[in-house]
Chain A
């Protein structure tokens, strides 16, 4: 087991950011930590990385207690997160050398590791440029390289794909898969739901500091099975009509992608006639209607709403 959180809690004065959460992450898995902004994902991550002391409870990371053996934990982890940055006025190679030395990697091994990492992230040609000159995608890759300098057993990636161009985001996802193949554990926090569905072995859903579910994406979706999803293929759907559809009573969520209108509701038979009549009345053309499977995002919304109640 890579990580075990036991009653992990963090309070900021009266605000309970993380509320007695328990979960386990197994070695070699990609573990998704999902939740809306302010749910407590980053706070949990910072406690697991020893950057923040838990108010109550503890966690074992790579077999070591985050409170009592924090230095041992730090030897075995890497993190990419907002607020954990590089020295902008140094080159990437200098940053790697510096943090490699702080991780007490022997000189020869450090040199080899730096070369490997620069090749791995595709920045070998820019390694001697100062980091301040990097684009946001390059910077993200540089952050990943520095997080990997100590060859960590566990890599924490906090919102790592946000703000990335599609090409880099794909590269980062491939990179995560590769890490798992090497037997490393990846803990990935995100508020995008599509990526973890494809990539994660298991996901945890956190909302308002509480853990709502920890399971495989498939099982999480099953937890929310009572949600019905209907997909309507439609042409000439006006923005005004889409707005009206979202306001129909019983519609929990409506999204439009190209000409596919996706409706999440507790009872599709009840809401569908009204939705179809609104489309037709506003001169839209319905090309087809079909019931479809719940996505992880829809399950997430269902679970977080249930959590709120």
Chain B
């Protein structure tokens, strides 16, 4: 509930959509329209850009999720005998909520601008070949990440708790193989299972959810392996305490709630209150989900996601180190 409250602002007040403005007309009408956007509660203008290409590039890098392009001839069209108003909205359609909110906000401003003319809003996506993404598609890639987190956590924390309760963990510890070998075996098996699960989830994404998988599949497998490794490390850190299977189920649920609300699944980070966003940025899965979204839906390559991967790897190492320190002192 706390995570939900943090992610969704109270009182029905929505966080403005961060946008860039690209005024290609540079006339008094276009500047007036840009000012209307700046004054609007629906948008937070984070910067001005000089070209559509620059806007697209920055959106792809994740600097902001949308850009409002005021095209050349904006004023001329308004002042023509058959006046009209044309705006282009460049969007990262892979982010849930953003497209609909940005379009609605822009339509409202155009309507209020009292030019009294016909309004046309053109939508342009940063997805390759202009593939249109449904709202379901925007969420599904991240849901895939969550499914993997959940299953990997159960692979380790759940399995260790069950083995401890059944007494088979003690039996394993009574063999001459080191405890590190036991953990390494469990880690490798969980990573292998993750590859299998990734394949199934990708198939569901493509064939059932009709989500286009644009990016390099090998990169997808690399991301899911790193998500798995981070989760396995977390599972081991937790398993160093003698927790019961029942406690693991509660922990799994406790893990799921921030995953849903704070890692950009139901609400993109840009739409979160600032304090919540800081918390979200501390969660490793935020970076995993973002990388999956970028590769699956935007078809981005390693150069766009290497920071995310480095953060995931750093979290894995940190959590494995924590687990190792506790493990060295006490195991059962």
**Interface, chain A (partner B; CB < 8 A):** 49-53, 71-72, 74-75, 77, 79, 82-88, 99, 102-104, 146
Give the contact stretch, choosing among B64-72, B168-176, B298-306. Answer: B168-176
How many Å lie between the Cα of A77 and that of B177 in the bound state?
A: 14
Give how many A-B residue pairs fall within 8 Å (CB-CB): 45
From B171, B175, B177, B178, give the contact of A85 (CB < 8 A).
Answer: B171
**Interface, chain B (partner A; CB < 8 A):** 166-168, 170-178, 330, 332
Cβ contacts A to B, 5 pairs, < 8 Å: A52-B332, A71-B176, A84-B170, A86-B168, A86-B171
How many Å lie between the Cα of A273 and that of B170 in the bound state?
A: 55
How many Å lie between the Cα of A75 and that of B332 in the bound state?
A: 20
Tell me the minimal C-beta distance from B214 to chain A in angstroms.
42
Indicate whether A84 sits within 8 Å of B176 (C-beta atoms), given known contacts A51-B332, A52-B332, A53-B330.
Answer: no
B174 adjacent to A51 (CB under 8 Å):
yes
A79 adjacent to B174 (CB under 8 Å):
yes
Q: Given the complex, which residues of A lie within 8 Å of B174, measured CB to CB?
A: 49-51, 74, 77, 79, 84
B176 adjacent to A51 (CB under 8 Å):
no
How many Å lie between the Cα of A206 and that of B278 in the bound state?
A: 57
Binding site secondary structure of chain B = loop
B168 adjacent to A85 (CB under 8 Å):
yes
Q: What 15 new A-B contacts, CB under 8 Å, besides A83-B167, A84-B174, A86-B171?
A: A51-B174, A51-B332, A53-B330, A72-B176, A79-B174, A84-B167, A85-B166, A85-B171, A87-B168, A88-B166, A99-B171, A99-B175, A102-B175, A103-B176, A104-B176
Closest B residue to A81 using CB positions: B170
Tell me the minimal C-beta distance from B65 to chain A in angstroms.
49
Q: Given the complex, which residues of B lie within 8 Å of A85, measured CB to CB?
A: 166-168, 170-171
Q: Given the complex, which residues of A lie within 8 Å of B330, measured CB to CB?
A: 53
Indicate whether A75 sits within 8 Å of B176 (C-beta atoms), given known contacts A51-B332, A53-B330.
Answer: yes
Tell me the minimal C-beta distance from B223 to chain A in angstroms.
33
B168 adjacent to A83 (CB under 8 Å):
no
How many Å lie between the Cα of A75 and that of B168 in the bound state?
A: 17
Q: Given the complex, which residues of B lie within 8 Å of A104, measured CB to CB?
A: 176
B171 adjacent to A74 (CB under 8 Å):
no
Tell me the minimal C-beta distance from A144 to chain B in angstroms.
13
B171 adjacent to A146 (CB under 8 Å):
yes
How many Å lie between the Cα of A146 and that of B167 in the bound state?
A: 14
Q: Given the complex, which residues of A lie within 8 Å of B177, measured CB to CB?
A: 71, 102
Q: Given the complex, which residues of A lie within 8 Å of B170, measured CB to CB?
A: 51, 83-85
Q: Given the complex, which residues of B lie within 8 Å of A52, measured CB to CB?
A: 332
Q: Given the complex, which residues of B lie within 8 Å of A88, measured CB to CB?
A: 166
How many Å lie between the Cα of A104 and that of B176 in the bound state?
A: 8
How many Å lie between the Cα of A49 and that of B178 in the bound state?
A: 14
B173 adjacent to A51 (CB under 8 Å):
yes
B167 adjacent to A102 (CB under 8 Å):
no
Q: Given the complex, which residues of A lie within 8 Å of B166, measured CB to CB?
A: 85, 88
How many Å lie between the Cα of A15 and that of B171 in the bound state?
A: 26
From A72, A74, A83, give the contact of B175 (CB < 8 A).
Answer: A74
How many Å lie between the Cα of A83 and that of B174 in the bound state?
A: 12
A102 adjacent to B178 (CB under 8 Å):
no
